[in-house]
Amino acid sequence: MFKRDPLKSYPTETEARTIIRFQDCDPLQHLNNAKYFDYYFNAREDQVAKLYDFNPGQLFRELDTSWVVYQHQIAYIRPALVSEWVRIRSRIIHFTEDTTVTEHYMTDDASRQLKNVLWVTSKYISVQTGKRIPHHPAVMELLDAICEPHVKFEELVFTERIREIKNNLQL
C-alpha cells in the first residue's frame, strides 16, 4: 500500500515508450481506435507501480475496493502507425473523495506530434456493494502526492486542453 515519504518528491506525470504492434492495427496500418485504451491502461499500470510503489491489485485484495470507469473523452488527432515508436504520458488532473480524472496522451517518439488525448473519469467503489465510497486515506494520500497541481480542471474545456498540450510539445 502507498505510504507517502515526506522527504520524497513524486512525479506527477508518467511516461512510457512503446511500439505500435501489427496485431493492434487496422487494414490502413493505423492503431485501432479501441486499442488506444489498452496501450494507455497498460502503460499507466506499469509506470504507477514503478514510480509510486503502488499496486492496484494489492488495493483490490486488501481493501476490497476498485475504480470503475464512469466516462471517457477521447480525441484522435493523428494516427499511430504500425511499428512506430510512441511515447505515452499520463497524469491525474483532478480528484475528489470518490472520483479521479486521468489524462492520457500519446505522441510520436520525438514528442513533437500529438496523436491522441484521453480523459478517463473513474469512480471509487466497494467491490462488495458496487457502490461509490470515499477513497481510503492511503489512496487520498497518493492522489494528493501525484495530482498535477498546475491543471485547473474545473476551468478546462477538452478541446482547449488538446490545443494546450500541442503547444507545450512545440516548446
CA angle 15, 140, 136 (to 5 degrees): 120
> Domains in the chain and their CATH numbers?
13-169 (3.10.129.10)
Contact present, 145 and 10 (Cβ < 8 Å): yes
Q: What is the pLDDT along the chain (171 residues), one digit of tens a residue?
A: 677 888 888 999 999 999 999 999 999 999 999 999 999 999 999 999 899 988 888 888 899 999 999 999 999 999 999 999 999 999 999 999 999 999 999 999 999 999 999 999 999 999 999 999 999 999 999 999 999 999 999 999 999 999 999 999 976
**Residue that has been written with the C-alpha cell 489498452 in this structure:** 38
DSSP secondary structure string, 25-81? Answer: B-TTSBBPTTHHHHHHHHHHHHHHHHHH---HHHHHHHH-EEEEEEEEEEEE-S--B
Beta bridge partners of 17: 87
- Tell me the pTM: 0.94
